[in-house]
Amino acid sequence: MHGIVTLVVLMLLLPLNGAAQSTWKKIDSLTYRLYLEKKWEPLLEEVADSLNQGIDFYYLRVRAGVAAYKLKKYRTAVEHFRQARSLDENDEFVNKYYYYALIMLGQNDEASFLADRFPPDFISLAGIRTKGRLSAVTVEAQLGINSRHANLIAQNIIREDGLTSYRSVLKTQLYESVGLEHHITGRLNVFHSFSQAGVIRTQQYQSAYNQLKLLKETSALQYQYRLHGRFLAGRGWVVRSAVSSLWGRSNYHLLSYNLSGEPVLSLKSWTIADKLINAGISKELPFLRPKVSVTYGEINRHGQLQADGQLVIYPLENADLYFISDVSLHFDESVEKAKSVFAQKLGVKGGPAWFIADGTWGMVGNFSSSEGLVVYNMPEVIKNIHGITVYLPMFNYRLDLTARVSISRKKAQTYVYTTATTFYTRSYSFTDQGFLISLKWYL
């Protein structure tokens, strides 16, 4: 009886298996013909239908990957080549397409991880560039100028109810940085940088009581070291972590009077000792790259906790057009309520260069961005930032040139003393114009 049942089941399954085999052959034949005819869009449509039916095989993924690559849908191409390579790691045709699709997306870490497993003769034949232990060098410089400085220090800041008024007006900022990138292992890449920032201010003192009007220039010098690691966890997942340490001195002058009633300015300094640690994770998807991170540390001797979420959207499935949305929730120990900051970027490729417009809105103070790279620890609060960046790869992607112009609208305080120890504050605003240039050389 058992043998009869088994025979019946086999007789029922054989036609089904034959039908599946027939469907597979039709799809294989059709997609191969479309591939030879270079009909890339219809080919991708057929592949999508096949995958929806549960039909998936090696050459289907290879053809789909090539079709997506030819259409510059590099994110889709990467997914198909990844699936094909999971079935055969030694196909040089697939490996070359897969590598260059990653390069075109700017996923250099994953491309290097892939290249590390290629045989030397194939690397040479395919023109693939591998990373050494020292893989890139970056130098940057940025100048910031307060466009209202001359106007502000010429203003009358005396108040009728005050004895003395004081404020420190930002004049210029100069930032310089050098960074080194290291390819530690196939999955681990590390970037560390050292920078210094010099700040020039004008301290302004006025008093109606003794007709005092004093201007005194002062300076601050800050250093920063940052270590940032990126670990490829597989299938588009990237784990990131960074630590930043800032130190230096910010000079200022205290006003007092001698026995003759003459004003005396005494030089003092504030010690800068800020520390931040950041950890985050991101995932590469066909149209998206979500990322979340958390930053914890101390800025201006106040504890900071910051949660950041980022979403990058690639409408064309490549880097020719992208949108980046950032949202930050910031808990600052020096204020009662949490603050939120929103940033948006739009990147468009035009010819050999990318043009990127960006905007940031929110009360930015005791804050950090770019995984602890940029630390806002100055006394002014930034209300919004707008910028335009030009990014130009040169010499076959051996050198990246980045130039950026930005405008930051800032809010600062004037201190009005009604007694020797009692004061209130009044806000004033100004615009800070920034000019940045960056060079990154891939070794």
Mean pLDDT of each 10-residue bin along the chain, 443 residues long: 45 47 82 91 91 90 93 92 90 92 89 90 86 94 96 92 91 97 94 97 89 92 97 92 96 87 88 96 92 96 95 92 96 91 96 96 90 90 96 92 97 91 93 97 92
Residue 427 contacts residue 413 (beta carbons within 8 Å): yes
Dist CA 74 CA 101 (whole Å):
5
Residue 177 contacts residue 198 (beta carbons within 8 Å): no
Dist CA 251 CA 260 (whole Å):
26
Residue 12: its pLDDT value, please? 41
Dist CA 243 CA 295 (whole Å):
9
Dist CA 280 CA 308 (whole Å):
9
Residue type, 159: R
Residue 344: its pLDDT value, please? 97
Residue 8: its pLDDT value, please? 41
Dist CA 295 CA 304 (whole Å):
8
What three-state secondary structure class fits 267? strand
Place of tokens 């597989």: 234
Residue 244 contacts residue 368 (beta carbons within 8 Å): yes
The pairing of strands 367-369 and 374-376 is antiparallel
Dist CA 417 CA 159 (whole Å):
9
Q: Is the pTM of this model over 0.95?
A: no
What backbone phi and psi angles, to 5 degrees, belong to 440? -125, 120
Tell me how far CA of residue 177 lies from CA of 26, 240, 277, 374, in angstroms.
59, 21, 20, 12
CATH no., domain 2-126 = 1.25.40.10
Residue ranges of alpha helices (H) inside 37-153 are: 40-52, 58-70, 74-87, 92-104, 108-115, 120-126, 149-153
What is the chain's Cα-based Rg? 30
Residue type, 15: P
Domain boundaries, the chain: 2-126, 135-442
Instruction: Work out the burial of residue 292: count CB atoms within 10 Å of its CB; fewer than 13 is exposed, 13-18 middle, 19 or more buried.
Output: middle
Q: In the chain, how long is the greatest CA-to-CA distance?
A: 122
Dist CA 60 CA 66 (whole Å):
10
Residue 25: HSE in the Cβ half-sphere, 13 Å Cα cutoff: 6
204: tokens are: 């302004």
Residue 209: its pLDDT value, please? 77
Residues linked to residue 214 through DSSP beta bridges, in sequence order: 205
The architecture in CATH of the region 135-442 reads Beta Barrel (2.40)
